[in-house]
Amino acid sequence: MSDCIFCKIIEREIPSAIVYEDDDIIAFEDVNPLAKVHILLIPKKHIASAAELREEDGAVIGRIYLAAKKIAEEKGLAEDGYRIVNNCGKNGGQEVFHIHFHLLGGEKLGLFV
Ligand code: 5GP
Ligand code: ZN
């Protein structure tokens, strides 16, 4: 998607601090962190939101959770815990329409961060 900022991050057209990458997933630091650790995990396939998921996307979404677990361990979050959040659509507070999962931690989080 040529006008999608997260697709541009995947293509390195927009710089970001990448913390994990494989063939199907990329994870990078959120530019406006809401917690001591705030990382975004996205599939490289452009999927607009959770509402647009198809049956064949199930595996990559599961693998995003496994990548989040790995990153959480590397960042020292595993023992005290962390949060994985997906905002879906306008009422869910989604601002970037390339599905993404926020990994938040490093401190005690409030209900809505
Ligand atoms: P949403 O509200 O859609 O769930 O979250 C979008 C997130 O993307 C926000 O936390 C915002 O700070 C982050 N974000 C928006 N633009 C950029 C960018 O260009 N680079 C990075 N690293 N994060 C971004
Ligand atoms: Zn995209």
Site to substitute for ligand 1 among 85, 95, 112, most atoms within 8 A of C-beta: 95
The ranges assigned to domains in the chain are 5-105
Q: What percent of the chain clears pLDDT 90, i.e. is strictly above it?
A: 96
Q: How many CB atoms lie within 10 A of CB 17?
A: 10
- Give residue 38's pLDDT: 98
Any idea what the Cα angle at residue 97 is, between residues 92 and 74, rounded to 5°?
A: 85
Euclidean distance between CA atoms 71 and 96, whole angstroms:
22
Residue-wise pLDDT tens digits, 34-69: 999 999 999 999 999 999 999 999 999 999 999 999
Q: Which CATH architecture has domain 5-105?
A: 2-Layer Sandwich (3.30)
Question: Which tokens hold the place of 9?
Answer: 């991050």
Centroid of ligand 2 to alpha carbon of 36 (angstroms): 26
